Chain A
């Protein structure tokens, strides 16, 4: 950007701040350009944009929401994920996450009674969680439908596994859900920009009032975060339409998702079982492919004659816990607000709505502090 332009943008920003202060002093209606810039167009970025719009489009005018991302559907991490709603077995004390997961489940479930559910990529599917030893009840037992322990007769079908659960859960397929979200947002005049954002400052310089960082696994490029690491996953998509249940296995010795899983989708079946922390390699590995396939065929012998369609690798944004918080950043004389919403590991689709609503709550706090809301009572 030329120096002249930069000066103009800075001047406009200063003017906006002055106007804001004037309004605070003199009250009156808010005719103020509130620009929210969301970085990331995976399920987290898009659903956060949706929540912001839903809660504030009538209360803050004009409200400009812009989404910036280097990749959009169908090339995001969310697109490759199988789409089974299921959190990790245990939240390790992060009770907020369990709450957000359940909120997402109930939200998605409410769409089942309408034909729209198919346009959103939502449907029910039952399945098995298999363990090599008795385990405590998982965090999601009350959120899902019909949770129960597996009987011995059922476990006999899965040699090597002596304990487990059965329940009916939801599927939420990224490849369908993300286009639906983009459509929903586009109809409401949300703007999309395909470009990689190098820094928060870049957006501030172009007029962003609030930045929402939903950049997933590459958040570290915007702000170093030693807790954020890639959890590399590789899957094989298979044509096996006789499979009507998902099967997840849990082996405490190999770690979460490093154990085979088979998840039928609306079209193909996702076969996986790799979770390599620290591995940034987006290339499909034939070693992983072989390991995944052999383990899956042992688990589900009928797969042996299934047609393999394609391989895919994605990097889960894994972190000890989700980073969902505000940060006020000082840059020279400027102060700007960032809401972080990243680090959802292998449960982004599972938790997205709960987190988006929480991000909207944080956004409301910012609006209140800036005096931009006509009513001080929170609606959230």
Chain B
């Protein structure tokens, strides 16, 4: 029997997660990942990988909770298995601090992480310039390890990898029965969709192995995320900024702000700098349309625009994408390609 040919565009965390879920759940599909960039050159690879959602305005909260919980539970099982080191997934505890007391003191994901609570007065003394804080334990997922781990899992169920830049989805549809678009910020060009825009983030990798707890300023521009081989400190949130080069002033600003939060960083050695473009969008786009190609209706499932929450929502949005694909193959079984 002819297998249904599915192609996933993009090999970042969303692309690979989606590809794995489809390949494992739908044995009647043969799945190919096609992308210009692979690990270690994707946006996901540089990201610190702390699981920490933000609230999107137009998606029902229960769906956002489901996206996060699905991802959290999946990664937690890995963190507590012998594969944790290989996959780069582990528990991370820390502090989320606010310069002013927020109106919304309990975010929608508070019960999905571990031990969410307000910080005590003694803990707040560690951050004299901040008035309020939350402490919790979440997960950290380092894509430099996780993406190769996902790729191994993908190949183990017969997944194929193609290194090629996709510029035309209609052309791609000539050779496949279904397309899943996980091209991240690339969707800006690929889908001619200006709703997705870059949010530039710069980050430093610092040698400070004594740092174990994360610290994040709620404004999103100052954070310290201890990792396996280095600590990620950052950051920036520059909208519509496509620059991939390191900006020296940004680096200085990051070091200064982070050292104020964590004085021991002043004696830490900077090992590297990195820039990534978050695929910004008002809300992640997880929906299906159809491409009309040579008399065929080819389902095109979009799964992009996760902003700074790609890793955080990867497994959950991948499930939605899988379900959209499954439903469309059922609704409109693929016709023979000419």
Contacts and interface: CB of A to CB of B under 8 A. Distances in A.
Interface of A: 112-115, 117-118, 123-126, 145-146, 148, 150-151, 153-154, 157, 166, 168, 171, 240-245, 264, 266-267, 301-302, 304-306
B213 A126 contact: yes
Contacts of B264: 112, 115, 117-118, 123
A301 B82 contact: yes
Interface residues of B, number: 36
Interface in B250-269: 263-264, 266-267
Contacts of B92: 244
Contacts of A145: 120, 122-123
B93 A302 contact: no
A126 B209 contact: no
Given A125-B213, A266-B209, A301-B84, A244 B115 contact: no
Given A146-B135, A245-B93, A302 B79 contact: yes
Contact of B86 (A115, A125, A305): A305
14 contacts: A115-B267, A117-B264, A123-B211, A123-B212, A146-B119, A146-B123, A146-B135, A151-B114, A154-B115, A168-B123, A244-B91, A244-B212, A302-B82, A302-B84
B263 A114 contact: yes
B120 A302 contact: no
A243 to B, nearest CB: 7
A198 B212 CA distance: 44
A165 B264 CA distance: 28
Given A154-B137, A242-B85, A245-B212, 6 more contacts: A145-B122, A241-B228, A242-B84, A242-B88, A242-B90, A302-B85
B192 interface: no
Contacts of B85: 240, 242, 302, 305-306
Nearest to A173: B210
Contacts of A153: 114
Contact of A125 (B80, B117, B212, B266): B212
A118 to B, nearest CB: 5
B229 interface: yes
A240 B209 CA distance: 12
Given A301-B80, A302-B81, A244 B266 contact: no
A145 B127 CA distance: 14
Contacts of B114: 151, 153-154
Given A118-B264, A146-B117, A240-B85, A126 B79 contact: no
Contacts of B263: 112-115, 117
B336 interface: no
A50 B212 CA distance: 29
Contacts of B76: 157
Nearest to B214: A244
B115 to A, nearest CB: 6
A147 to B, nearest CB: 9
Main secondary structure of the interface of B (DSSP, over half): mixed
Nearest to B226: A244
Interface in B134-148: 135, 137
A246 to B, nearest CB: 9
Closest 4 CB pairs of A and B: A302-B84, A123-B210, A266-B210, A242-B90
Contact of A124 (B82, B90, B212, B266): B212
Contact of B81 (A150, A243, A267, A301): A301
The winner among B92, B123, B210, B266 for most chain A CB atoms within 10 A is B210
Contacts of A244: 90-93, 212-213, 226
Main secondary structure of the interface of A (DSSP, over half): mixed
Nearest to B79: A302
Contacts of A112: 126, 263-264
A2 to B, nearest CB: 52
Contacts of B210: 118, 123, 171, 266
Nearest to A241: B228
A297 to B, nearest CB: 8
Contacts of B82: 301-302, 304-305
A114 B265 CA distance: 10
Interface in B56-86: 76, 79-86
Given A145-B123, A305-B82, A267 B209 contact: yes
A266 B92 CA distance: 16
A122 to B, nearest CB: 8
Contacts of B213: 124-126, 168, 244
B209 A241 contact: yes
B117 A302 contact: no
Nearest to A176: B210
The winner among A124, A267, A302 for most chain B CB atoms within 10 A is A302
Interface string B274-317: 00000000000000000000000000000000000000000000
B115 A166 contact: yes
Contacts of B90: 242-244, 302
B33 to A, nearest CB: 26
A197 B40 CA distance: 59
Given A240-B85, A241-B229, A302-B80, A118 B212 contact: no
Contacts of B212: 123-126, 244-245, 264
A279 B43 CA distance: 55
A358 B257 CA distance: 40
Contact of B120 (A146, A157, A264): A146
Nearest to B230: A241
Nearest to A243: B90
B266 A148 contact: no
B260 to A, nearest CB: 11
Interface string B90-126: 1111000000000000000000001101011011001
A273 B266 CA distance: 36
